[in-house]
Structure 1
Amino acid sequence: MSPQAQLVMIAWLPVVLYLFRIFPAQRAVVISFIVAWLFLPQLAGFSFPGIPDYERMSATCYSILLATFIFDVQRFTSFKLGWLDLPMLIWCICPFASSITNGLGVYDGLSQTLAQTVAYGIPYFLGRIYLNNLTGLRHLVIAMFIGGLIYAPLCWIEVRMSPQIHRWVYGYLDARKFAQTIRYGGYRPTVFMQHGLSVGMWMATATLIGIWLWRAGVIKQVWGISIRWLVAVLLITVVLVKSTGAIILLLLGIMIMFTAKWFRTSFLQLLLIIGVSSYLYMGATGVFSSERIAQVVSGLATVVDQGRANSVGFRMHNEEMLSEKARQRMMFGWGGWGRNRIYVENWNGDLVDISITDSLWIISFGINGAVGLIAIFGSSLLPAFSFFWLRYPASSWFKPKVAPAAVLSVIITLYMVDCTLNDQPNPVFTLASGGIAGLVLKEPEKKKLKGDHTVVVKHSLAQHRQKQRRLTQIRS
């Protein structure tokens, strides 16, 4: 960690407090998360006893919680635990059960629980209390779109000159992952993120948001430039980023969007949620055999190049072995310290780790078992499903007020699809999941207005009757 990276991390807390001072609370939260995710340094931070390390996203969570205590303390009392919050609650406390059932002790369980709560629980909680209405989600969506626009020229630079911006600004680069940035005869940008896959997912998300807001008429210009030209810029950037998975997810999102617009149905999103759930079930129960994996690889080879298909096949073979071991601790997994991984003895008699864990689902299943696996995916898929099933059907998705929330529900679904293949945590998506859950749990605005109107009418009728009685008494 360089001196400038240390300075930025130290200065970030007062910067967040200042944002709460000059902006409304909703906007301050959104700006803090977006700026931290896009621009704060990697592999930088400080260790303090008793709490998870102070790194870029935990620093953001700590700072926002402190700012809330100082400037907006009543916000905490507005939170009421709802049924949609149960998956995230279980995910946060599940490490304790994993540690206890594996004999790792109470201290380890509390430590792992605290780390998981900071990484996932606090962003979700902040989304619940700050972004639980259509206005808050609109702020988040527009900020994500603008973040993608700002990142676009940085991606172009790294596509041409290799990932160097982090080194230019902060003085160092994670050289261990540099080989993974070479793709299709060029470079895959990382900018200030941990991996090119994260950049690809972010740019695909920003592009989908731009298309959706454009078609729904939510915004027409940004910085005086027509949104259609900005969307074109983002589309070109997504291709240049060279992330095949992100491009496929973008196409899926566009298909869901146009199906909702033309046919007024969310069937494709529902199908995607069922598909992810089925994949997790088959992976966790051992349905994927070597023969079925070979069939998947041969099928993929007809859509993408053979190298990418073989890469997916390699991952699935690894996940088959890891899933077999995870099923030995089916409920709560193996706990931490690499106990979920596979080790064999080498020629020297030493244990060597031969497993490769690329996807969030197999990591969650191995460490926290079936309970953790269901909880982490349910914390995003359940709010997304409830959004269109209980509150806002597809027929309302292109109304300007609803469109930002609708595209977010699709995005967190696509993110869960990505998590079946990759492990690229993004707290902004967790923040969005909390916001969608809060929106679903609240009474819809129309019903609120209708209820308030009913109360007013009843009160007016009562006053009218009292006046009539008084007049009758006076006359008599």
Structure 2
Amino acid sequence: MTPQALFVIIAWLPLTFLLFIYFPPRTAIITSFVAGLLFQPQGAGFPLPLIPNYEGMVATCYGILLGILFFDFKRLAYFKPSLLDLPMLIWCICPIFSSVVNDLGFYDGINNSLTQSAKWGLPYILGRLYLNNLAGLKELALTILKGGLIYALLCLYEIRMSPQLHYNIYGYYGHISGVTQAFRGGSWRPIVFMSHGLVLAMWMMMVTLIALWLWQSKTVTQIWGLKIQWLVAFLVVTFFLIKSTGTYVYFLVAVAIAVSAKWLRNTIILLVLILSIIYYLFLNVTDNFDGTTLINWSAQNFSSERAQSLEFRLDNEVKLRAKAQERPFFGWGGWGRNRVYEEEWDGTIKDTSTTDSYWIIAYGTNGLVGLISFVLCLLLPVICFAWWRYPVKTWFHPQVAPSAVLAVSLALFMVDSLVNVTYNPAFPLISGGLTGLVINKPEQLKSLRKKISKRKTISKTLAMPHTKN
């Protein structure tokens, strides 16, 4: 960690306080959260006694919590727990049970639970408190879009010059591999200030989807004086230059969901997607999944390189799944006990497994209890939003469109968690916001017909010839 990285991580706390002084609490929270996600240095911070280390987005959440305590303490009194909060609660405390049943001790479980709560619970609570209505989720979507537009320019720079912004500004590479794994297909894959190129690709996929959805719903027509359709084109081009095959598939699925919702007025594609996630996990947990068909499809539709990468991941999941099934309910706990080890000829113990997907980590460390709660944290708000509170006919209403596109993005993050480890605190934040939204009664939507009729009347009045008396 360099002095400039340490300075930025320490300075983030007073910067967050300044935002609370000059802006309303919700705006201060969203701005500091998105800015911290996009520009904070990787691996910078320092340990704190009894609570998770002051680093990365945990540091941002600490600053936000202190801002709330000083400037908006009364908001905490409005929080009312709901049954829909239960999956996140279980996901945050299940490390305690995992440690206890594996004889790692209650203290170890508390530490792991605090770490999980800081990564997942804090963003979720912020979403529940401040993004629990259509206006709050709209502000979040627009801030993500604006941050994404700035990031797109940085992506184009690194695509041309190689991923060196983190090194140039903070003095070290944000990812352990540096730039050795960032060259693909004749150009560089950007990382900017994120932990990995895959995390950035998932982020830019969501940004591009938000821009497209808000354009088609007429939620916004301009940003910073630029027409939204031109910004959509710019983001689409940048996104495809990132060269992340998996996120291309996610984006095409999201576009299909949008087309189905807007013109066919049904949610069949989203429903199939969610059911496919559940079915895939069921087959894996019951040891009935055969990935041969998926590997062959990948080879035929993409490349042999992508098929080999997928085969490697699935082969490792077979080993990790077998290990997880030895402790099916609460998993193996922490300290890498969920991984597969073999003894070498000289007596040394070697880790022979690679954990490339979030779901297998959740299953191996926290068992079925952790896996089910993890999946429900991400999918239950989407299900409640789509089939309980806001039917598909409202998804392209300007008031509802930002929430709808964030719900679709959350479902796609769950898909990505089946094959990658691309943790991003924006998604538990979205989960909390959507949960708070669906707990409340549906908001009354303004009639678009009245607005259109009023505009036409004004246009006709202005077009009428004026006569002098």
Give the TM-score normalised by the residue count of structure 2.
Answer: 0.93
| Map of 1:302 onto structure 2 | 300
Identity %: 50
* 1:20-419 matches, cutoff 5 A: 20-173=20-173, 174-288=175-289, 292-419=290-417
Distance 1:296 1:445 in 2: 42
CA shift for structure 1 position 110: 0.5
2:389–2:441 Cα contact (<8 Å) kept: no
Cα contact 2:159–2:242 (8 A) shared by 1: yes
Give the distance between the partners of 1:54 and 1:390, measured in 2 at CA: 39
Residues 390 and 442, structure 2, Cα contact 8 Å, conserved in 1: no
Match of 1:454 in 2: none
Please report how far the alpha carbon of residue 311 of structure 1 lies from its aligned counterpart in structure 2 after TM superposition. Answer: 0.8
**Structure 2 CA distance, aligned partners of 1:318 and 1:114?**
29
Q: Give the gaps of 5 or more residues in structure 2.
A: 446-469
Which letter does structure 2 place at the counterpart of 1:20?
F
Per-residue CA deviations over 1:248-278 (Å, capped at 9, x if unaligned) read 1111111101100011111111111111111
Measure, in 2, the Cα distance between the counterparts of 1:382 and 1:117.
19
- 1:335-392 deviation digits (Å, cap 9, x = unpaired): 0000000000112111100000011000000000011001111101000010011100
Structure 2: how far apart are the matches of 1:6 and 1:76?
31
In structure 1, distance between residues paired with 2:257 and 2:227: 24
**Structure 1 residue 157: Cα displacement:** 1.0
Q: From the CA coordinates, give the structure whose radius of gyration is larger.
A: 1
Counterpart of 2:293 in 1: which secondary structure?
A: helix
Q: Is the 8 A contact 2:358 2:420 kept in 1?
A: yes
Structure 1 residue 201 displacement after superposition: 0.7
The C-alpha deviation readout for 1:301-353, integer Å capped at 9, x for no partner, is 12111110111111011101100110110000000000000000112111100
TM-score when normalising by structure 1: 0.92
Query: Which residue is equivalent to 2:419?
Result: 421
Q: Which runs of 4+ in 1 moved over 6 A?
A: none
Other structure's SS at 2:46 match: coil
Tell me if the contact between 2:159 and 2:188 (Cα under 8 Å) persists in the aligned partners: yes
Q: Structure 1: 5+ residue runs without aligned partners?
A: 448-476
Please report the RMSD computed on the Cα atoms of aligned residues, expressed in angstroms. 1.0
Shift of 1:175: 4.3
C-alpha separation in 1, matches of 2:81 and 2:200: 33
Q: Tell me if structure 1 keeps the 8 A contact 2:261–2:267.
A: yes
Matching residue of 1:468: none
How many Å separate the matches in 2 of 1:295 and 1:425?
28
Q: Distance in 2 between matches of 1:389 and 1:96?
A: 34
What is the one-letter code of the residue matched to 1:419? S
Give, in whole Å, the separation in 2 of the partners of 1:438 and 1:64.
19
Deviates more, 1:115-124 or 1:267-276: 267-276
CA drift at 1:21: 1.1
Letter aligned with residue 259 of structure 1: S
In 1: Cα distance, 2:84 partner to 2:269 partner: 22
Per the TM alignment, residue 178 of structure 1 is displaced from its structure 2 partner at its CA by 2.8
1:452 alignment counterpart: none
Task: Write the distance in 2 (CA, Å) between the matches of 1:274 and 1:82.
Answer: 25
SS of structure 1 residue aligned to 2:423 = coil
Q: CA deviation at 1:413?
A: 0.3
- Following superposition, the deviation at residue 294 of structure 1 comes to 2.1
More helix by share: 1
Aligned amino acid, residue 187 of structure 2: G
Distance (Å, rounded) in 2 between the aligned partners of 1:182 and 1:278? 35
Matched residue count? 444
Q: What's the secondary structure of 2:163's corresponding residue?
A: coil
Residues 115-136 of structure 1 deviation map (CA, whole Å, 9 limit, x = unaligned): 0000100100110000000000
Task: Quote how far apart the aligned CAs of 1:177 are.
Answer: 4.6
Instruction: Report the residue type matching 1:352 in the other structure.
Output: K
